[in-house]
Amino acid sequence: MISDLKNALAHDFGANRILHEEPLAKHCNWRAGGPADLLVIVRTTDELVKAVARAKSHSVPFTLIGFGANVLVSDRGIRGLVILNRAHRIEFLSESIVETDSGTNLAVLAKACAQHGVGGLEFLIGIPGTVGAAVAVNAGTRTEWISTIVSSVKVLPRRGELAWFEPAELAFSYRSSRLKHTDEVVITARLLGKPDNLKYLVEKMAQHLQVRKNQPTGPSAGSVFKNPEGDFAGRLIEAGGLKGFKVGGAEVSNMHANFILNTGTATATDIKNVIAHVKREVKKVFGVALEEEIRYVGEW
């Protein structure tokens, strides 16, 4: 099936765009993880839909990845087809509504909106990743979430045709949505902003980036754990004496305890073992069950 799918994708996209046994560490922020059986980079939503359709028609599982900002790929890699989503069209439908493809980088989108005088999206400037992933996990800051600006989302369902969904149909919640728990694919999102002044928007983006400057640098997936209600995961981890805890090349950051860094040699297993240890210790000391924000993909 893999061989047949490879031939079909080569026919659709060209043989040079279909990669075999491609190391996924090259494509994920943690810089860890094994190979993909097959990998294709799609550049438009039409290509994205076609790649998904090809995988389904050949009964091959597919995994969609944006910039790998919030995923941990197994050291054994991912079986089937990995689709790297680089569909990045941005179109302004009005002075307040922007329509953008799911592979659009959030920082690029925030800057484009500012240049067009569309406010309300500047908080996206410091969030790594793509629009599709952000919608699926309801990404945001401590005070602003993408669900609050979603007007509608075009989705490719498990079966059937492309369809637009309203926010109420997507079951948004803290760092989650219906889309996080299904194999539906985000194709396009319409986001609702508001007319605003370019100078003000640039200043707001600078403020958001300044906050991010106080976060650790180096390969990581950002915040690993969701904040439990009424508290902060980083505070609990630090209070449990876990800053600096290390397994192999994976280490709990000494700057921000909710970050786990790849210090240069970490495997995905190292990172997962650090996560497991942190969860056990926080549960033992504080009775709080931390829940991951990050997504595990591949053969575990």
The pairing of strands 97-101 and 90-92 is antiparallel
Output the CA–CA distances (angstroms, integers) from residue 291 to 9, 14, 142, 229, 299, in the order listed: 37, 41, 17, 11, 20
Q: Which of 31, 54, 86, 175 is catalytic?
A: 175
CB-count exposure of residue 132 (10 Å: 0-12, 13-18, 19+): buried
Q: Is 175 annotated as catalytic?
A: yes
Tell me if residue 293 is catalytic.
yes
Question: What interhelical angle do 198-212 and 106-115 show, nearest 10?
Answer: 160
User: Residues 117, 200: contact at Cβ < 8 Å?
Assistant: no
Among 223, 251, 253, 292, the active-site one is 223
Determine the 3-state secondary structure of 87 from DSSP.
coil
**Sequence-distant (≥ 6) Cβ neighbours of residue 247 within 8 angstroms:** 270, 273, 274, 277
Q: How is residue 292 annotated by DSSP?
A: B
Hey, which residues does 6 pair with through a beta bridge? none
Residue carrying structure tokens 């928007």: 201
- With CA atoms as reference, report the closest residue to 67 among 109, 97, 98, 114: 109
Active site residues per annotation: 175, 223, 293
